[in-house]
Amino acid sequence: MSQILFVLTGAQHWTLADGTQHPTGFWADEAVTPYEAFKAAGHRITVATPGGVVPSVDQASLSAEANGSQEAADRVAQGLDAFVELGQPLSVEDVRIDSGGGPAGFDAVFYPGGHGPMEDLATDSDSGTLLVRTLESGRPLGIVCHGPAALLAAHTQQGASAVHGRRLTGFTNAEEQQTGLAAKAKWLLQDRLVEAGAHFDEGAPWEPHVVVDGNLVSGQNPASAGPVAAEVIKMLG
C-alpha cells in the first residue's frame, strides 16, 4: 500500500487578459477517475492545496456536455461525493521533504487540472519546490491537463526550469481554442511550457494522450487522467 499526495488548486477563478474572473476550480473527472483507480489498487490518498483551503470543483466539469452524457456526469458527481479527503486538505507549504529528497510520507504525487492551476499553482513557489524534489527523488509524479501549469513554478537550485529538456504534454493550444478561451487568456499553457524548454508532445485534441519521461507522467486532457493514473500505479507496483 502506497501513500499518494494529491495537490489541487485552491483557486475559484481564472483571471483573463481583460481582468475578467472566469469561474473555475479543479476539473472533477481529472480528480475522481485517478482517485478511484488509486483506491481500487489499495493506495491511500492525502490532499494538499495552497494555504490548505478546501478545493472548489469547476461546476462546468459536472455537466452532461463535459462528461459525454448525463449518466457519466452522475457517475463523476457520485465519485466526487466519495472523495472525502477533499474536505480535509493539508497546506502545500506544510509538506515536509524527507532524507530521500522527496515529500515526507508520500510515495507518489498527483496533480489534477482544471483552469485553477493557471491562477495559483503556476506561481506557487512551495508547490514548485515540491515538484522539483519529487522529480529529483525518482518518485512517480502524475500531472494532467492544466496541472502542468504548476511546473512553471518549479526551478532547480541553479535557477533552471525543472521542465527544461523534459518530454511532457498538457492541455494544448488547439484544445484551448476549442474551449473558446484561448483568445481571452493572458497566456497559453503549451506556449509557456515550450518557452521553459520542455519538449511538448501534442496528441489529437480530446483524445487520451500520455507521455512518460522517467518518473514524470503527464496527460494532455481530461480523457488522459485515467491512463496517467494507470502508469503511476504501474510505477508503484
Q: Quick one: pLDDT at residue 99?
A: 84
What b/e sequence results for 134-157 when a residue is b if at least 16 CB atoms lie within 10 Å of its CB, and e otherwise? bbbbebbbbbbbbbbbbbbbbbee
pLDDT tens digits for range 139-157:
999 999 999 999 999 999 8
What is the 8-class DSSP label of residue 237? -
Mean pLDDT for 111-129 is 98
What is d(CA 31, CA 80) in angstroms, rounded to the nearest whole number? 8
pLDDT band at residue 127 under the 50/70/90 scheme: very high
CATH code: domain 1-234 is 3.40.50.880
Phi-psi category of residue 192: left, alpha or beta, with phi > 0 → left and psi -120 to 50 → alpha: alpha
pLDDT tens digits for range 72-99:
999 999 999 999 999 999 999 999 999 8
pLDDT at 129 > cutoff 90? yes
What is d(CA 147, CA 149) in angstroms, rounded to the nearest whole number? 5
pLDDT tens digits for range 40-59:
999 999 999 999 999 999 99
Q: Quick one: pLDDT at residue 100?
A: 83
Q: CA nearest 56: which of 123, 94, 9, 98?
A: 9
Phi-psi category of residue 82: left, alpha or beta, with phi > 0 → left and psi -120 to 50 → alpha: alpha
What is the 8-class DSSP label of residue 152? G
As given in the structure block, the three cell numbers for residue 70 are 448525463
Q: What is this structure's pTM?
A: 0.97
pLDDT tens digits for range 9-39:
999 999 999 999 999 999 999 999 999 999 9
SS3 144: strand
As given in the structure block, the three cell numbers for residue 231 are 502508469
The answer to whether residues 147 and 9 touch, using CB atoms and an 8 Å cutoff, is no
What is d(CA 143, CA 134) in angstroms, rounded to the nearest whole number? 12
Domain boundaries, the chain: 1-234
pLDDT tens digits for range 175-212:
999 999 999 999 999 999 999 999 999 999 999 999 99
